[in-house]
Amino acid sequence: MTTQEKKLNILFAASEVVPFAKTGGLADVGNALPKALNHLGHNAIVVMPAYKCVFNGGFELEETGIELEIPVGSKLVFGKILKSCLPGTDVPVYFVAQNDYFMRDGIYGNGRDYDDNCERFVFYARAVLELIRRLDHTIDVIHCNDWQTGLIPAIVKLENRPIGVDCETAVLMTIHNLAYQGVFWHWDMLLTGLDWRFFNWREMEFYGKLNLLKTGMTYADALSTVSPTYAEEIQTQEHGCGLEEVLRHRKNELKGIINGVDYGVWNPETDANLIASFNATNWKTEKPKCKAELQQIMNLPNESDVPLVGIIGRLAEQKGWDLIINMLNAWLPNADVQWVILGTGDAHFEKAISDLVYKYPTKISAQLTFSNELAHKIEAGSDIFLMPSRYEPCGLNQLYSLKYGTVPVVRETGGLKDTVTNASEQAIVDGSSNGFSFGEYSNEAMNDAMHRAILTYTDHKEVWNQIVENGMRQDWSWDHSATQYVELYHAMIDRLVENVANC
């Protein structure tokens, strides 16, 4: 058997995993990618902290009998390992339990970040490696995710693998959002248990502070991020968040892989949240039923021919809300377009939206909260989905929209650029378009893209239908993404095998 044919044992280390704990997209990946890896015939396990929400979530947690004594700085901290499975699967999930660190109301903070977050995730990182030592099978790949796992590659490399990690065990560091780096004051270096000589600008230090994401990026065998374009963008000063030099230095070991969609959850053919199911064959008759229900739920006039624009997401500068508010102020008085908004976030954006809903109640409706059920209904009932992000490492809503026949209008950044093909004249002729996009972050560029989308919807139905069906027939499933991860895992292992004599 060649290394490329070998079935792999993969440990997926993540600080949050759906349905146990979630603050962002990492949690979705932590559920979907291990399932997809197992579906491809590999053996994935997940390791995450045992937060208060895990104990309160009604999940069946099994005692493993594994007790932990973990060095954190100058003290020993005690904990244990619990076990469950990803719901509906046999994918094991191991929980690192330590009540002083993790039995709290918030995952990373409660109103503000916890002061001891570095200590908490030093303990977690060392507990992951102690678990590997206590398992009865070898691990071929340790797949680390974001700064909370950044110490793991450093311990593996700098402590000469004394904790049961094989010389051919590959360590991958995935960056989900470079803006979050785990930066702490320099004295927290003492908590890591690593020598002060590694606290330097080439390795763990960042402008006089300890940076755990930089640490993981420095010592991992390879790096990945959640789209090819984002992999390029984060090597620039504009998007590198101060780590662009580190990323350029490792560009040959950096790969962008688009996150997948769990079509078991996001599929209009099987979605229990919808009043009518549909696919690329019958959407013309069934999708309008979802639109009518959405208009009713959101108290908008039942006007089937008026284009309905959906927007879902965090109300923050990153998501382009300054552009959206400007557009709404310009369009609502005269344009024959309906708008539906779901999300919560910055107070000044929430107020601006509330004021517009009060002023134009027949044209715009908003729920300034989050509802999973309503999110599904908006994806199914809207004609257009607007996503003008300043930056977007991957993005998932545009992928949901494609599957639900809701044409995305996006800015060409990160994963949005990689997944949405603009309806240029040439793309329309060759039948490759699945949406509309714009490059410059400006009101003018977004207005132009939206005008093109609205004009196509109202006046060029044949072209519109082609764009809708192109998107619905594309495969953005996790199996496709997981296959690329497996290829990367094997390439990492092959490099280690070549260097094993030096281990």
Residue 366, beta-bridge partner list: 341
- The encoded tokens of residue 358 equal 């009060």
* Per-domain boundaries in the chain: 3-260+479-502, 283-474
Check if the beta carbon of residue 68 is closer than 8 Å to that of residue 96.
yes
In CATH terms, the fold of domain 283-474 is Rossmann fold (3.40.50)
Check if the beta carbon of residue 54 is closer than 8 Å to that of residue 20.
yes
- Name the burial class of residue 423, with classes exposed (0-12), middle (13-18) and buried (19+) by CB atoms within 10 angstroms of its CB: buried
pLDDT at residue 4, rounded to an integer: 61
Extract long-range pairs of 236-240: CB within 8 Å, 24+ residues apart: 239/178, 239/391, 240/178
In CATH terms, the fold of domain 3-260+479-502 is Rossmann fold (3.40.50)
Q: What are phi and psi of 224, to 5 degrees?
A: -140, 160
Residue 218: alpha-carbon gap to chain centroid: 22
pLDDT at residue 128, rounded to an integer: 97
Output the CA–CA distances (angstroms, integers) from residue 146 to 30, 95, 173, 494, in the order listed: 12, 18, 7, 24
Show pLDDT as tens, one digit a residue, over the chain (503 residues).
445 678 999 999 999 999 999 988 899 999 999 999 999 999 999 999 999 999 999 999 999 999 999 999 999 999 999 999 999 999 999 999 999 999 999 999 988 999 999 999 999 999 999 999 999 888 999 999 999 999 999 999 998 664 567 778 999 999 999 999 999 999 999 999 999 999 999 999 999 999 999 999 999 999 999 999 999 999 999 999 999 999 999 999 999 999 999 998 999 999 999 999 999 999 999 999 999 999 999 999 999 999 999 999 889 999 999 999 999 999 999 999 999 999 999 999 999 999 999 999 999 999 999 898 999 999 999 999 999 999 999 999 999 999 999 999 999 999 999 999 999 999 999 999 999 999 999 999 999 999 999 999 999 999 999 999 999 999 999 999 999 999 999 999 999 988 765 55
Calculate helix-pair angle for 321-331, 347-359, nearest 10 degrees: 10
pLDDT at residue 24, rounded to an integer: 84
pLDDT at residue 136, rounded to an integer: 80
The dihedral region occupied by 502, where left means phi > 0, alpha psi between -120 and 50, and beta the remainder, is alpha
Residue 286: alpha-carbon gap to chain centroid: 30
Return all residues near 243 (Cβ < 8 A) that are at least 6 apart: 178, 181, 206, 211, 213, 214, 217, 234
pLDDT at residue 501, rounded to an integer: 59
pTM score, two decimals?
Answer: 0.92
Same fold, 3-260+479-502 and 283-474: yes
- The encoded tokens of residue 472 equal 């619905």
What's the CA gap between 89 and 465, in Å, rounded? 37
- Pick from 131, 11, 37: nearest CA to 89: 37
